[in-house]
Amino acid sequence: MNRLFVLGGARSGKSRYAQQRIEAVEGKLVYIATAQAFDREMADRIAQHQADRGERWRTVEAPIDLPDVIRQTAASCDAILVDCLTLWLSNLILAEHDVAVATSALHAALADCSIPIAVVANEVGLGIVPDNTLARLFRDEAGRLNQTIATACEEVCFLAAGLAIRFK
C-alpha cells in the first residue's frame, strides 16, 4: 500500500479500517487530525480516538493546512493516516478558502508522498438533495473532492457495516 483512500458513511468502520491498514507498516506512525473541538462532545471524541490509537502514534493537527502538513510530516515518519477530509472540507468552506485550490494542493501532496498514507472521507452524496444552499454546496464540494483524491490513490475502498468493498 502506498496511497489508500477510504470512503464510507458515518460509523461505517472506515477510520478503524484505515488505522489497521496503517498499523501494518513498521515504524513511526502519524495521525493527521482535521477535526476541531468546538464543544465538549467533540473534545471527548477526539480524546477517545487518541487513546484508542496507542503509543506508536503521534498526532498532528491540520484543520486547514493539510497539504503542507502532509509534506512536512512525511519526512519524519514511516506512515500517515489522515482523518478526515470531510471535516477538512467543512473547515475550508467555513473559513471561506478556495476549495478548488486547496483540493489541487492536496492532490499534489498525496502524489508526492513517498511513504504509505491512508486518507479517510465520508461519502455524503448517497442521500437526498439537501434543502439549503450551504448543505448543497458542501455535498457538491465533497463529491468533487472525493473524485479528485481517488485519482491520486492506488487503492480506494468503500466501507459499509464494517465491511470493505475495494473499488480500485
Report the catalytic residues: 49
Look up residue 95 and give its three cell numbers.
Answer: 473559513
**Contact in structure between 110 and 117 (CB atoms under 8 Å):** yes
Q: What is the largest CA-CA distance in the chain?
A: 47
Distance CA 10, CA 155 (A): 20
DSSP for 42-78, written as a single string: HHHHHHHHHHHH-TTEEEEE-SS-HHHHHHHHHTT-S
